[in-house]
Amino acid sequence: MTDLETPVATPPRTGALRRAAPALLGYAAVRALGLIALAVWSAANGKSAHTLLTARWDSLWYTRVAELGYGYEVRLPNGDVHSNLAFFPLLPWLERLVSALTPLSYADAGLLVGTLASLAAAWGIFAVADHVYGRRAGVCAVLVWAVLPIGIVQSMAYSESLFTALAAWSLYAVLTGRWLTAGTLAALAGLTRPVGAAVVAALWVAAITSFVRDTPTARDTSYVRDTPTARDTSYVPNRSALHPDGAPAWRRALGMLLAPLGAAGYVLWVGHRTGGGPLGYLDVQAQWGNGFDGGYAFARFVGDKFTSFPSALAGLGLIVGVALVVWLYVTCLRQGQPLPLLVYAGIVTALALCASGYFGSKPRLLLPAFPLLLPLAVALSRLRTSRSALVLGGAAVASAAYGAFWLNGTGPP
């Protein structure tokens, strides 16, 4: 048996945490660095790092839902109404639960949930990348996610970390043929953020594909990973990741039925509460200035930056950023990532870039699109450990400084 034919089994549960430990320890170190930088920067500016993490922007809205329930709204001078119905319920539910079981306030409970969820998200990202490309790439994927410029959001009382954790583990369950687990986690993701539809779509596409490809070959549960040899430094995704092992048809069908229940249930409830019918939630979002216009408003926003020289630099930076995101997705396609990851990342990216409002939020909205980072993780995993550590260490310092500057300034809307 050659190196390219070495079977690799899914790590047992007892060893899963040990296998992921380097990734989780590295992730915790990066986040600690970011929090230290934020504390120092905030103190120098006479601000509270704790307040910035727990009691500004969306975190305030989640806290109000936890404390008061739904029905709170703010009426703007132009007549628009910002309702807390725009915020999905899972995070405030968890805030209320943690606050009931501990002495923590709702805001601090949200911070605790966000912190634990970020670790769960890091572990889920590692599990997916390890399954597809191997352990070394898995560690690099987690660290790349940690050192993103807006990585500080992962440490806030926001829903991005919670959603990413549920999405990553749901996708991992899909890749490993655990359809009921995948459907349950997808339903919970749908209760967390509107983009939960991306997890549902990924599961549905994978399940439908498995039905079409339901042959004895497709049901082979052997795990064969194409690993690099000394003469071959290219990575080819694990074949079993591309073709999840077969499962009874009823499990796949039930997973498909479970997946959309969270998002559909909340959206229909909002429509009933507002009297707007099945599309009532879209009316709530429209009052916030959110919608889907295919990217027209965002393109106009970028174009308006070129009216003067200083802002033209910002416009150029936005174009470069969008081009980088598109290039990463094309690279994911060329690397042959598993179809569920491609569907998920594609929908998250499309919804983020083609939304019509809150342009400053787009980097934050892209945070859950972790499959886009796998090409970078694979490239880093090919380097010597000292070189990859130097690259990631420098990025961690830059991310910590930018996160502290960002939250003390405009921050995430």
Q: What digits encode the pLDDT tens for the residues 260-292?
A: 999 999 999 999 999 989 889 999 999 998 888
User: Per residue in 290-305, pLDDT tens?
Assistant: 888 888 888 888 888 8
Q: Band of the pLDDT at 356, cuts 50, 70, 90?
A: confident
Residue 119 included in any domain: yes
Residue 66, domain member (yes or no)? yes
Give the structural domain span for 143.
21-225+238-286+382-407
pLDDT score of 388 more than 60: yes
pLDDT band at 2 (very low <50, low <70, confident <90, very high): very low
Residue 355, beta-bridge partner list: 292
Instruction: Decide if 180 is inside a domain.
Output: yes
Residue 67 corresponds to which tokens in the numbers above? 């404390």
**pLDDT (average), residues 19-32:** 97
Is residue 38 within 8 Å of 407, Cβ to Cβ?
yes
Q: State the chain's mean pLDDT as an integer.
A: 89
pLDDT at 248 over 60: yes
Q: Please indicate whether residue 63 or residue 11 has the higher confidence score (pLDDT).
A: 63
pLDDT at 13: 59
Beta bridge partners of 83: 73
* pLDDT over threshold 60, residue 216: no
Q: Return the SS3 of 355.
A: strand
259 within domain boundaries: yes
pLDDT for residue 398 is more than 50: yes
Kindly state whether residue 363 falls inside one of the protein's structural domains: no
Q: Is residue 394 part of a domain?
A: yes
Q: Which residues contact 297 (CB under 8 A, 6 or more apart)?
A: 356, 357, 359
**What's the predicted TM-score (pTM) here?**
0.90
**What average pLDDT does this structure show over 6-25?**
73
Domain count, the chain: 1
pLDDT reading at 83 higher than 90: yes
pLDDT tier at 381 (50, 70, 90 boundaries)?
Answer: very high
DSSP 75: E
Question: Has residue 233 got a pLDDT over 50?
Answer: no
The pLDDT score that the predictor gives to residue 182 is 98
Helices (H), 58-105: 58-68, 90-101
Q: Contact at 8 Å (CB) between 147 and 396?
A: yes
Do 310 and 373 form a contact (C-beta atoms < 8 A)?
no
Asked if residue 74 is part of any domain, the answer here is yes
Q: List the Cα angle 354/356/358 in 5-degree steps.
A: 110
Phi first, then psi: what are they for 83, rounded to 5°? -105, 145
Give the tens place of pLDDT for each residue, 45-62. 999 999 999 998 999 999
Collect all residues with Cβ–Cβ distance below 8 Å to 64 and sequence separation of at least 6: 72, 84
Cβ contact 134:40 at 8 Å: no
**Which pLDDT belongs to residue 214?**
72
Residue 346 lies in a domain: no
| Residue scoring higher pLDDT (3 or 290) | 290
H or E stretch at 81 = strand 81-83
**pLDDT tens, residue by residue, 109-160:** 999 999 999 999 999 999 999 999 999 999 999 999 999 999 999 999 999 9
Residue 237 has pLDDT above 80, yes or no: no
Per-residue pLDDT at 7: 35
